[in-house]
Structure 1
Amino acid sequence: MEFISRHLAAVDGIYWRGDHTFQAASRIRSADGRKDFAAVYSIMNEWSQIVGQWAVGDTSFDQYACGLSDVLKRYDELGFQPPEFMWVDNSRCVANQLLKAIPSLSKVLEDATHVLRRIFELIPDAHTSKGRRKLTRAEVDAKPQSYWRARCRHIIPQPEELVAGVEPVVAKYLPSICGINQDPLIMEEVRAAHERQVQLMQEGCLSDPLRVDAMYILVSAPDAMPPYIGIRGCSSLEGYHRHLNALLGGGNYSPELAGALIALFNYR
C-alpha cells in the first residue's frame, strides 16, 4: 500500500517504546486454521505514533531484529535523527541486543508501569490489603491541587534517591496480613520480585534520563487538557494495545487481512 509507505516516511521520533501484545495475534490464523503468531511487537515514538510493527512467533529479540534494521535504514535514508532512548518491559533480556542493533541509543530503560504491575499481579486478589476503593469523579474534583502534586509522579529520580524512597514503602507494608486468612502481603515471591526491581533501580534503568523539562512535550494550548504529554515509558503503548485488540475483534483473520487492517488503523 503506497500511501502507508508515504505515511511512514513522515514518522520519526527519538524516544521509542517497545512492547508485545498477545490478544490480537491470537486471532491471526493461516488458511488451515493454524495460529502462526504469538504476539504483535510495536514500537511507538514520543508522539504516540507507530514507528515499526511486526507479528512475531515468540518474544525473542531475533523475531523483530530484521524489522528494526529496516526502520533504521528508513531513518537513515530520510535523514531522521536516530533514536536516543528506548523503554521496554524486559530490559534485562534485550538491552544488550538493542544497544548493539541501535548504536545511537544512549540507554535502554525499564518501563515503570510494568515494574509496578509485576508486584501487583503477584499479590492475590483476595488479600484484604490489596483492594482499594476507587475515587469517584466528585471525590477527585474535591481534592486540592496540593494533594495531587504530592502524590502524582512527575519525575523518577536518580538511583540513590529512588531506592531510598521505595524501601521505606516496602518496610511499611511488610507487617501487613490478610484479614481473612492471615497471609502476609509481602510474600516470598513479592520480596524476590522487589529485590530484582531494586537491582534495576540501582542500575539506573528506571530513572529519568533527561531533565524534567525535557521529559514532557507541550502538545496543546495552556487552557486545554492535557497541555503536556510525558515521553517516559510504555503507558501510551499499553493504551494502543486495547485499540489493536478491539480492531481484530473477530475470531479469524488471515495474516494479509490483519496486516492491512492494522496498517489502515495506524494510518488513520
Structure 2
Amino acid sequence: MTTSQRHEGKTALITGGSRGIGRAICRRLADEGAVVAVHYGHDHDAAERTVKEIVADGGRAFPVHAELGVPGDAEALWAAFDRAAAQEDVDARVDVLVNNAGITLPRRVADVTEADYDRVFAVNTKAPFFIVKHGLGRLRDGASIVNISSVVTRIAYPHLVAYAMTKVALDHLTRTLAHELGGRGIRVNAVAPGYTETEINPTLAIPEIRQRYASASVFGRLGQPADIADVVAFVASDEARWVTGHWIDASGGVHLGV
C-alpha cells in the first residue's frame, strides 16, 4: 500500500478541522483516501473553504457544526455528524477520530479567573472525553483515536499553566483509553505540536517573539501545520498498528537543551 492509499475507504472525523493544524490534518487524510468530516464550532466559511479545497483536489469531505465547551456538546456533535453522513451517503461508522479542537489561555496563575479555567477545560478536556464516550458505538473495531496534545506538557511554561493542565489531562486520557480499548483493536495516541504557525497564535506577528519561538527548535524554524498533519496521518494509519498509548513529540525538538 502506498502512502496515498493509507486511508482509502476510511471515514475520519477531525474536530476543529476548519483552520490551522486541523485543516492540514483534514487535507492530508483526504489526500490519502479518507472521507473527512470537517468539524467546526463557529467559522462556517472556513469549514466550507476546507471542504471545497478537498473536493477540488479529488477528495471527499463534508462539514459538521457543533459548538464545543457547552452542555451537551458531544451529543450535538455526533448528531450533526450522523445527519451530515446520511446526506452524503457516507457510512457513519468512524475509522479515525482526531480530537484537535482546542483553545489557548495565555495567562499566569494570578490572572486566571474561574470562568477562564472552566472554559479552557470544557473545550480542551471535557469535550474530547465525552466525544469519545458517545462515539464508542460509532468507532469501528481497529479504529484509531489521535488526541492533539502540546509540548508544553513536558516543560514549565508559566504563561500557559491552565492550558498545559488541560493537555496533561488529555495525555492521561490517551493512555487510559489505549488500555481500555485495546481489546477492540482501537489504538489511542497523542501527538504534541510545539510552536506552530497558525492563526491561533497572534503573537507570531511580532518579529522578536517569532524569532524566539523559531530558535527554540533544533531546526531553527517554526512548525507548519503540514508537519503535524503528516505525523497524525501516520499514527492514524495501519502502518502504526503496533503503536498505542504513546505521546509523540512533534515539536521540532523545541527546548531539548533546557
Task: Check whether TM > 0.5.
Answer: no
Which of 1 and 2 has greater Rg? 1
TM-score (norm: length of structure 1): 0.30
Query: Which one has more relative contact order, counting CA pairs under 8 Å at least 6 apart?
Result: 1
TM-score (norm: length of structure 2): 0.31
